[in-house]
Amino acid sequence: MKKIVTLTLVFAVILGLTNQVQAQKNELKGQISLSGAFALYPLAVKWAEEFKKLHPNVKIDVSGGGAGKGITDALAKVVDLGMVSREVKPEEVAQGAWFVAVAKDAVVPTINAKNPKIKELLAKGLTQAAATKIFITEEYKTWGQVLGVQSNIPLHLYVRSDACGAGETWAKYLGNKKQEDLKGTAVFGDPGVASAVQKDPLGLGYNNIAYAYDLKTKKPNSGILVLPIDVNNNGKIDAAENFYATSNQLISAIAQGKYPSPPARDLYLVANGKPTNPAVVAFLKFILTEGQKYNVPNGYISLPKEKLNKGIAKLK
């Protein structure tokens, strides 16, 4: 009899805990909408998937469109959160922009894997000065000029047509310029630039890490390679600068400060004023805590604890 009573009590406790967990899952309801930076889009989708497992009654809609669209939609209250892959500007703060850093990644120069000078390019890399002469002043129009050799093979340049953090960040790296200063054939979106470079053996563009590497294999996407940056400007890619074989190697290098910043940068979620919607607040708290464990597996860098705590404090 005592055993039966004990087992009954155990089952009752288990049932009670199960019901409590289920109640906690069901208590949060509502809708959350995000739009903006292609750079943050894949990670935001992953965060949404994991958050919905905890709170199945919360509907989350995530759409791309570029950082410009994200900040515009957020300030206009078209969405709850705008995804922004550049620094939030003072004039945007003046308009009510409230923001928290949620991850870090980088913009990388990308070339076609079948470029006729691929071996030389991977060995020599791209200096900041050479990139400026390609994207800003247009002094370099051939791959021979990039390498400093006799060759008239033309260089086909691709840039983003949409207002984006990647363009702003890459332009900032090239002497504090603006996205509008970048020359080249304008293509919409991160996937668009990656596709244009993949199709053109003579192409050069810039992409966020998530669009340069395959998420599963961690290797560069088919037909595309990252053109290494010659950080110390010595005319070659030294062993300490050679960290592009996989996205994990590049992420580690960014975390250690080996890759320049810019084009490495923080990624932000922006709202018009401090969020008050319980579902939005809970989602942001999830991202700044448990959600950080999904950053590295999805090709991003987790933020330092101090920066995460600062973001959590802004929610209080």
Q: Are residues 111 and 99 in the same domain?
A: no
Q: Are residues 118 and 180 in the same domain?
A: yes
Q: Domain tally for the chain?
A: 2
Q: Are residues 126 and 256 in the same domain?
A: yes
Q: Are residues 296 and 151 in the same domain?
A: no
Task: Kindly report whether the peptide bond that precedes residue 116 is cis, defined as omega within 30 degrees of 0.
Answer: no
Model pLDDT, residue 158? 98
Q: Are residues 46 and 137 in the same domain?
A: no
DSSP assigned state of 229: B
Q: Are residues 114 and 198 in the same domain?
A: yes
CATH of the domain at 169: 3.40.190.10
pTM of the model: 0.85
- Percent of the chain residues topping a pLDDT of 70: 92
Q: Are residues 214 and 120 in the same domain?
A: yes
pLDDT band at 27 (very low <50, low <70, confident <90, very high): confident
Mean pLDDT on 5-31:
54
Q: Are residues 48 and 96 in the same domain?
A: yes
* Domain end residue (candidates: 264, 286, 305): 264
The residue written with tokens 């597996």 in the block is 297
Quick one: CA torsion of 260, 261, 267, 272, rounded to 10 degrees?
A: -160
pLDDT band at 26 (very low <50, low <70, confident <90, very high): low
Q: Out of 18-32, 139-153, 217-231, which region has the weakest mean confidence (pLDDT)?
A: 18-32
Q: Are residues 115 and 94 in the same domain?
A: no
Question: In angstroms, rounded to a whole number, what is the distance separating the alpha carbons of residues 41 and 180?
Answer: 23
Residue 16 predicted with pLDDT over 70 = no
Q: Are residues 218 and 89 in the same domain?
A: no
C-alpha triplet 170, 310, 100: angle, nearest 5°: 45
Boundaries of domain holding 256 = 106-264
Beta strand 203-208 with 264-272 is: unpaired
* DSSP-assigned beta bridge partners for residue 126: 229
Q: Are residues 159 and 257 in the same domain?
A: yes
Is 186 buried (19+), middle (13-18) or exposed (0-12) by CB count in 10 A?
Answer: middle
- What are the pLDDT digits (tens) for 231-273? 999 999 999 999 999 999 999 999 999 999 999 999 999 999 9
Q: Are residues 142 and 157 in the same domain?
A: yes
